[in-house]
Amino acid sequence: MFSIGIGIGTQNKSNAWLEVFYPRPLLHPSPEFPSFLEHFVLAGNEGTLALDEATRSALCAVMEQPDQLALLETLKDSQKPCVLTWLKIDGPIESTPAAYLKLHLLSHGLTRPNSLNLEGIYAALPNIAWTSDGPMDLSELPDAMLLARLAGRHLEVTSLDKFPKLTNYVTPEGVRIADSARVRLGAYLGAGTTVMHEGFVNFNAGTEGPNMVEGRISQGVFVAKGSDLGGSASTAGTLSGGGNHVISIGEDCLISANAGTGISLGDRCTIEAGLYITPGTQVSLLDEQGDLVKTLKARELNAQNDLLFIRHSQTGVVQCRTNRQAIALNAQLHQHN
């Protein structure tokens, strides 16, 4: 068994799943764990088991894992639909509960970005109205807004999106998030990470920690420990323009304010403020004396260590020098316990 999750979620009026919350998802449960599932028919590589009272009680009778048993006991008072979701293999996503289980695996830190098969996730995730009364089917939103007004209330709609806020589902340990709307469920945040107000972390992306994030970490991008994304800095994701190159940022790097990269950076690299490096950017490679070695495209420097990307102050030519100074983050700033 690849993964199992016991969850509580929301369905629309047609009983189609909108979202599922998994408090304690399991990755590669012990060989003994799935034995209790032998009491039920689990067909296919993924699926769901509706946890009505009879099914929940039957599971409780054979469940041997204390934390999962406690969760099942808690669900007995639920006013919302409950479900057990299983993934026998890490295959393409076929359902909304399976999509949410994989997003939880990432945000609980059980898997890292780019380690899961997320094929089919967009088809599996409905576009939802995220409101002060919880998630709603878009077609049901107008009636809900009217009913709220009739009751003297205002229904706040924070977004119309496939992905919810991470913090409505998971509380990562040792992390600061200044604006919760800017970190999606499915983001991986390592301990010591600070995401400032203008920082953004997409699903299937994130930080090893500790890191300072004042820029954008796009889908598929992983930032190693000690690196800093300055204000409005950006990283090219795999979703834009049909790209399939996965960008990574090494340790102790600095992407300065309003800068960005479309290539991977190794360790101890710096990109000066306002400079965006694309794979096709023409770069003058300089030796330690500042003499020109050759001109090449930035993709030839992909994932190499100790690089400093700057622009010549007069000609505007992009230059690359050896960077001998690592960027040291403020250790005190990243203590979030």
Instruction: Catalogue all structural domains in the chain, each as residue range(s) with its CATH number.
Output: 3-124 (3.30.70.2010), 129-161 (3.30.60), 166-334 (2.160.10.10)
Q: What is the average pLDDT score of the chain? A: 91
* Single-letter amino acid code for the residue at 200: F
Q: What global pTM score does this model have?
A: 0.92
Give the mean model confidence (pLDDT) for residues 22-46: 76
Q: Looking at residue 241, what is its pLDDT? A: 44
User: Comparing 24-33, 148-157, 270-279, which segment has the lowest mean pLDDT?
Assistant: 24-33
Token pair belonging to 42:
């689990």
Give yes or no: 214 in active site.
Answer: yes
| Spatial distance between the Cα atoms of 83 and 52, rounded to a whole number of angstroms | 8
Residues near 143 by Cβ (< 8 Å), separated by ≥ 6?
none
| Spatial distance between the Cα atoms of 177 and 200, rounded to a whole number of angstroms | 10
Q: Looking at residue 326, what is its pLDDT? A: 44
Token pair belonging to 274:
């306002």
Q: Identify the residue with better confidence: 5 or 36.
A: 5
pLDDT, tens digit, for every residue of 244-258?
678 999 999 999 999
| Spatial distance between the Cα atoms of 200 and 202, rounded to a whole number of angstroms | 7
Catalytic residue among 214, 272, 288, 300: 214
